[in-house]
Amino acid sequence: MSTSNPLANYSTELHDDQADKVDKYLHNLQLSDKTLMDVSLRFRREMDKGLCRDTNPTAAVKMLPTFVRSTPDGTEQGQFLALDLGGSNFRVLLVKVMGNGEQKVEMESQIYDIPEHIMRGSGSEFFDHIAACLANYLDKMGMKDKKLPLGFTFSFPCQQTKLDEAVLMSWTKGFRSSGVEGQDVVSLLRKSIKKRGDFDIDIVSVVNDTVGTMMTCGFDDRHCEVGLIVGTGTNACYMEQMRNIGVLDGDEGRMCVNTEWGAFGDDGALEDLRTDIDRELDAGSFNPGKQLKLFGYHVYKRKRNNRRQKPWGLNQMCVFSRFSRRLNKMVRRLVPDCDVRFLQSQDGSGKGAAMVTAVAFRLANQNADRQHILDTLRLSREQLLEVKRRFSEEMTRGLSKQTHKQASIKMLPTYVRSTPDGSEHGDFLALDLGGSSFRVLLVRVRSGTKRSVDMQQKIYSIPQEIMQGTGEELFNHIVDCIADFLEYMGMKGASLPLGFTFSFPCDQTKLDEGILLKWTKGFKASGCEGKDVVALLKEAVRSRGEFDLNFVAVVNDTVGTMMTCGYEDPKCEVGLIVGTGTNACYMEEMHNIELVEDDNGRMCVNVEWGAFGENGELEEFCTEFDRLVDACSNYPGKQRYEKMISGMYLGEIVRNVLLDFTAKGLLFRGKVSERLKTRGIFETKFLSQIESDRLAMRQVRSILQHLGLTGSTCDDSVLVKEVCSVVARRAAQLSGAGLAAVVDKIRQNRNLNQLSITVGVDGTLYKTHPHFSAIMQETLRDLAPQCEVTFLKSEDGSGKGAALITAVACRVKNEGQQ
């Protein structure tokens, strides 16, 4: 017969009762996935609030900019000092960083105490103590005479306005030194060092330990873009897109944001999750109601306080190990779409401060090297004025019979004597040839109250082998296409006046005659240069024998642009093209055009300004990149101005700059793709796309990936955008300088103090680049302040313009016969 032990039973019952109470108590500390997801959403809302300029002041999570703009790329190297301050003792470290293949960091350090009376004394005593310890360390290392860069890990909430400036918002971790809150801690440290006078250092950066952790791990793994601390305190930082940081100006690239997430819940956002123990710990803390104690030191303090209620039997190593495993598992559950790896930091606060400083030094040195190169592509106001002056001189030389042949700007008479007056009427054919495709158009011009221009057209391509074959093949192909168009329009037997837009440099002696001076834009058809292109076309029509054409005018697209806009605005007396190529024309006084025997009235002059510089006028403004582009072009030494401005060449200039940057290790981590080595791969349209204010950096990266640069970073995207901006800005400024010379000449011709004139403009670069037109107009206003210039975009200047020139010629002829 068995008997039970009453004492044992009582003990078991007591133990079970205590266990139930402990389980009930611990149940309040358990959070479901649903609750955690809700906390995550609340936190995200606070992050957004902290990033926004308007809501940041009331946000609990402050999302502080750190001015750390890049993570390590492995090329950092040099010797750096680090000062690691975040607790009751601090360290001074000498950190040697070896990059470029070695990727190694060596450190020596010494720990110094901060006595409690200094932690809670005056700020000056506090920083004098830090300076004294720095002096001691430098003396011990025999480096007091060296001025080394120093990174300052200051692990307290700070508001930064620069990388080397941090205003302490509030002390934490038991510190209470007076006169420091609201002050720049770097300035206070510098003041204490200067007061000593026995050593000097260059304080480059101030960071907190969280940023240091991210940078330390980033040196080992360049995918590391988040820093996390869970220890005595807790915090996180990460690389944020600049466009999302509303508290700062600028939207390019990224910056590390210090979330200061320990303050999450200070506004009551976590009140429903807090337990009585949380409230008890908060009430007994240094700063009740702040930094709500759900993490870090207070977690372990809670465990120690509860050790009598439940035996933990675990050492701290096991606790951390279990914490990290649970953290990993929880992150995977809450964000299954993110592949997150955790990398334990080795000395994030000390080594990390040195890494921030090393990165800052690398960026500063690389930026200086890049700016030195880009400065060769930047033009000062004095240089632009000199370009304008030389351009004006060449215009005068081109108009003069004596110097015309030697002038780089040929100032060709077009025999267009009038702009439209609105009375033009009739049906006209237009032929538009200026690139690898051309158009045939039927243009109906109506006058009177229902004044209008209606067009029907068909586009035909010109194969490469015909562009670079014989002239006979080229013009036979054009006539074949005209025949197809007439049949398509049901006009096979019609004989209409025809205007021929021929967008290549021509010497004209009549309106319906144009002697080709030289091919441009990739054309090389033989037997054409020095010949009348109208005669060549007429011969091709005669050989076919199917139809006849009434050739009235041969013009280039620039004159067509002026005439098209002149139909809309009688004040339009200048035409400008900035597209694949570039050129200008304007109405010149006949008495200045010495190549034509007539002094009455005006005539449109085709400037052919793309050739400016062929006599060396632009040599001092050309860079090594311009010379490379010129040397690899179809006509080296020709069209120098055009090669610095037009869409055919800007992409090549950018590509050569990027190759140079990469070869010097200033871009793409020094690794160039084979595709980027390919001529013509960087299309000018990419400049317009990359410089678009609406284009996010990830879209810029997709363009770079198209170029084979799959490993490009956000920093690379920012730099590529800067290169595009500098190259396009110079092109726009050079266009503005040339245009300033043109409109100022018109003003002087007419003896006006102030000129009001309209410029008709066309071309994809002008129309599609987001900043080109504004920069060009700004330059024009600056260089020709006595000219009030209105810009009117042309709609189909080459086709419609040719028809309008033909219509004006027919009108003038009819007026002469009456």
Which H/E stretch holds residue 322? helix 316-334
Nearest to 739 by CA among 584, 593, 606, 526: 584
CA–CA distances in Å: residue 279 to residues 28, 30, 32, 273, 294 = 13, 17, 21, 11, 10
Alpha helices, H only, 545-646: 557-568, 624-631, 640-645
Interatomic CA distance for residues 213 and 642, integer angstroms: 52
Number of H helices, E strands in the chain: 24, 24
Interatomic CA distance for residues 283 and 288, integer angstroms: 5
Spatial contact of 137 and 149, defined as CB atoms under 8 Å apart? no
Spatial contact of 809 and 511, defined as CB atoms under 8 Å apart? yes
| CA-derived radius of gyration, the chain | 37
Phi first, then psi, for residue 206 (nearest 5°) are -125, 125
Residue in this structure with the two tokens 């303090």, named with its chain if needed: 301
Interatomic CA distance for residues 435 and 116, integer angstroms: 81
C-alpha torsion sign, points 481, 483, 484, 485: positive
CA–CA distances in Å: residue 154 to residues 71, 85, 208 = 19, 5, 5
Residue in this structure with the two tokens 């400008």, named with its chain if needed: 576
Strand order of the β-sheet with 78-85 is 104-113, 89-98, 78-85, 149-154, 202-207
Which H/E stretch holds residue 95? strand 89-98
Phi first, then psi, for residue 288 (nearest 5°) are -55, 140
Strand ranges inside 435-581, DSSP E? 437-446, 452-461, 497-502, 506-510, 513-516, 550-555, 572-578
Spatial contact of 807 and 728, defined as CB atoms under 8 Å apart? no
| Burial track 49-68 (b if 16+ CB lie within 10 A, e otherwise) | bbbeeeebeebbbbbbbbbb
Interatomic CA distance for residues 644 and 730, integer angstroms: 8
Interatomic CA distance for residues 92 and 150, integer angstroms: 10
Spatial contact of 146 and 134, defined as CB atoms under 8 Å apart? no
Cβ neighbours of residue 545 closer than 8 Å, sequence gap 6 or more: none
Interatomic CA distance for residues 271 and 646, integer angstroms: 64
Interatomic CA distance for residues 423 and 811, integer angstroms: 8
For residue 307, give the 3-state DSSP assignment.
Answer: coil
Cβ neighbours of residue 620 closer than 8 Å, sequence gap 6 or more: none
Active site residues: 439, 503, 557
Which residues are registered as beta bridge partners of 178? 122
Assigned token pair, 25: 């108590």
Strands 506-510 and 513-516: antiparallel
Nearest to 218 by CA among 74, 371, 82: 74
Interatomic CA distance for residues 649 and 632, integer angstroms: 11
